[in-house]
Amino acid sequence: MTEVMPEAPSAVSDRSHLYAFLTATDASATALERPVGRGWVGDYQISGKTGHVLANGAGYLLYVHIDERTAMERGPSSRPWKNAKARLTFCKVTQDGDWEGCLHLDRLPTADEAVVIREVLGIRKRRHMTTEALSKLERTRGLIKSPNLAPHSDPKSERAAALSS
């Protein structure tokens, strides 16, 4: 039987710290995750297509890398990282690599900075829905017939019933 270890107090505080960042950047709640690898569980992070955000003391660490699909097609280039640094001038560069790096932000971002962070790191924006649109979505979900919810049918018994009629 697998035991579930309780979260350390620092992990809980990192999560709440990152949730404040998530709210400030108006990012999707699904971006806040705790990656799981082979036998290890990582720290909470806000993940995007081209980077992620980690809690770093009172501030935030933004890790930026190039898009893997782009690198496979054209080969690694330093241009995306240079462009990211140019757009994130309100952050302090802490690690400057050839095509990746880390930046530190010592406060929550402003609304304009949040847009830039979401674009550079490829983080999904939160979906805002009106109550009318939300009720329409719930009605639509109720109409969907999932194959997992359908009653089990036996093809042999269905064929026998059809032949006997």
Considering only 16-25, 112-121, 136-145, which range has the smallest mean pLDDT?
136-145
More confident residue, 45 or 68: 45
Among candidate residues 101, 100, 18, the one with its CA nearest the CA of residue 58: 18
Q: Band the pLDDT of 41: cuts 50, 70, 90.
A: confident
In the chain, where the domains are located: 9-142
Q: Whole-prediction pTM value?
A: 0.71
Task: State how far the Cα of 56 lies from the Cα of 18, in Å rounded to an integer.
Answer: 10
What burial letters (b/e) apply to 36-72, b meaning 16+ CB within 10 Å?
eeeeeeeebbbbbebbbbbbbeebbbbbbbbeeeeee
pLDDT digits (tens, 9 = 90+) for 69-89: 665 666 667 788 899 999 999
Task: State how far the Cα of 77 lies from the Cα of 70, in Å rounded to an integer.
Answer: 9
Task: State how far the Cα of 100 lies from the Cα of 35, in Å rounded to an integer.
Answer: 20
Name the fold adopted by 9-142.
Aspartate Aminotransferase, domain 1 (3.90.1150)
